[in-house]
Amino acid sequence: MPVKICPACGESNPVAAGSCRMCGASLEKAKAVRSLKTAPRQEVTNGDRTDTSHTLHTRHAPPGSSSAVLSGSGWLMVMLVIATIIYPFVGMIVGGVTALRDDRDKRENGAFLLLISLIIWAIRMVLQRWLFN
């Protein structure tokens, strides 16, 4: 997936992003657009440890930001799954919207919510027909 590199902090962002998801700097002047798999080797020093990798160093979004919420980590994803079990239409709506995102992890989470909501909906329909007929 092609990315834009933030000129201020070096964070990789989706091509369609207008501002950096880490520092909020404008990405309109960012010219470096390349795939993460073909990114040059970059050394990142974390305290006394030096990390050398073939991909760009990406920092995790702060908890509570929209990218952290939809990435599948955190308490909000758990709450979405619980809401999907109680109200399957919530999972269908949120899962459908999330499944159309550019990020692969978000698409997988959206598909997961859709699957859970369809399974719960089918179980409720079977139980309703079985109990009331």
Q: Mind listing the pLDDT tens digit for each residue in 65-79?
A: 545 444 545 788 888
Q: How far apart are the first and last CA of the chain?
A: 52
81 and 115 together in one domain: yes
DSSP 8-state assignment for residue 62: P
- The tens digit of pLDDT for each residue in 8-29 reads 888 888 877 888 888 888 888 7
User: Can you give the pLDDT at residue 47?
Assistant: 53
Distance CA 30, CA 58 (A): 16
Domain total of the chain: 2
Residue 61, domain member (yes or no): no
The residue ranking higher by pLDDT, 75 or 61, is: 75
- The tens digit of pLDDT for each residue in 99-112 reads 898 888 888 889 99
Q: Which two tokens stand for residue 22?
A: 């880490």
- The tens digit of pLDDT for each residue in 76-87 reads 888 888 999 999
The residue ranking higher by pLDDT, 49 or 93, is: 93
Residue with tokens 């007929």: 133
35 and 79 together in one domain: no
pTM for this prediction: 0.46
Residue 35, domain member (yes or no): yes
Closest CA to 98 of 82, 111, 85, 83: 111
70 and 46 together in one domain: no
Domain extent for 80: 66-132
42 and 71 together in one domain: no
User: Can you give the pLDDT at residue 31?
Assistant: 66
Residue 102, domain member (yes or no): yes
Residue with tokens 């080797």: 41
Distance CA 116, CA 88 (A): 8
Residue 59, domain member (yes or no): no
